[in-house]
Amino acid sequence: MTEPATRPPADPDASPSLPGRAREFRFERHHFDRIARLLHQLAGIALAAHKVEMVYARLARRLRDLRLPDFDAYCALLDSEEGAGEIGFLVNALTTNLTSFYRESHHFDFLERTVLPELRARHAGVPKPRLRVWSAGCSSGPEPYSIAMVLASTLGADLRRWDARILATDIDTHMVDTARRGVYAADGASGIPPAIRARYTQPATLNGEPAIAMSEDLKRLITVKPLNLLERWPMSGPFDAIFCRNVLIYFDRQGRTQVIESFSRLLASGGYLFLGHSESLYGVSNSFRQAGPTIYQKV
C-alpha cells in the first residue's frame, strides 16, 4: 500500500467533487464521507478529499458489476446485513498496491550485510537457529520474495540448518492470493539481480504473456496470510526484522502509534524495523534508534 492520505476535511461545505466533471452515477459529499468513515473504521485508512476521483472510479465499476442504480443504493448495501460480504470488496478496491522486487534496495543490502551477519554471529554453534522476518503490508508479494532471495543467496547451503520463516500479510485478500501464487509479469522483474533471477525463478506465463514463477524453495520459506494491522494479531514473535514499508502513511497518528508499539513488542531485542522512504518514527516512538535511512533498531 503506497499512496499518502489524510483524514477527510471537517468542513461540511467543502465538496469533494470536481466541477464540470460528468459522471455516470451521482456522487456527492455525503457518499464520499460515508465511505471514508467506513474505510477508516475498518482498516484505519484515512482518505483525503483529493482522493474523490479515485474513489468514484474504482467504486463505479463495482456499481456496474452489482447492477446498482446509484451510490445511495451502494451505501445502503454497505449498511445492510446482506452487505457484510461487500466490505472486503470495498477495502480491496480502495487500497493501492504498488510494489516491486528489491524496491528501496538499500534495505535488502542492509539485510544481507548487517542483519544476517549479526544473526549468524549471535547463533554460532546453535544446531537449529531461529530466524523470523515479517513483511507487513506485503501487497502482491515482491517484498517477501525479495527477502527470501536475500536469505537464500546469502546463507546458501547453510540455510537448511536454520529454522527460517518469512510471514507475509496484507489487508487486501486479492493481493494475498497473488502472493501465494508467486507468478509475476516478466517485465516487472527487472529489479531482481540476473544471477538471483536465474537461480530462484522459472519462466512462466500470466494471462498469455511472459512471466516468472518463484521457485518452490522460496515459497517454502514464506507463509502468506490476510491481516488487518489495526485488529488483533495472532502471532507472538519474536521477529528479527519487520518490513512495514509505505503502509503507515495510510494511518492517522493514533493508528501509527498503535502499530509501531505492537511492532516493538514483537521484535526481538536488537531487531530491525524497515519503513518506507516517506515514513519516520520521529515523534511516534522512543523504542528505536535509527540504524540507517528508514531503518530502525529496537533499543
Which residue numbers are catalytic? 58, 170
User: What distance in Å separates the CA atoms of residue 222 and residue 164, rounded to the nearest whole number?
Assistant: 9
A 10 A CB-CB count for 44 gives 22
State the DSSP string of 102-165: T-SHHHHHHIIIIIHHHHHHHTTT-SS-EEEEEEET-TTTHHHHHHHHHHHHHHGGGGGGSEEE
Most distant pair of Cα atoms in the chain: their distance: 70
- Tell me the backbone φ, ψ of residue 52, rounded to 5 degrees: -60, -40
Residue with cell 516517506: 278
Cα–Cα distances (Å) from 85 to 31, 46, 76, 90, in that order, read 19, 21, 13, 9
In terms of C-beta density within 10 A (0-12 exposed, 13-18 middle, 19 or more buried), how is residue 25 classed? middle
DSSP lists the bridge partners of residue 167 as 134, 223
CA dist., res. 52 & res. 77, Å (int) = 20
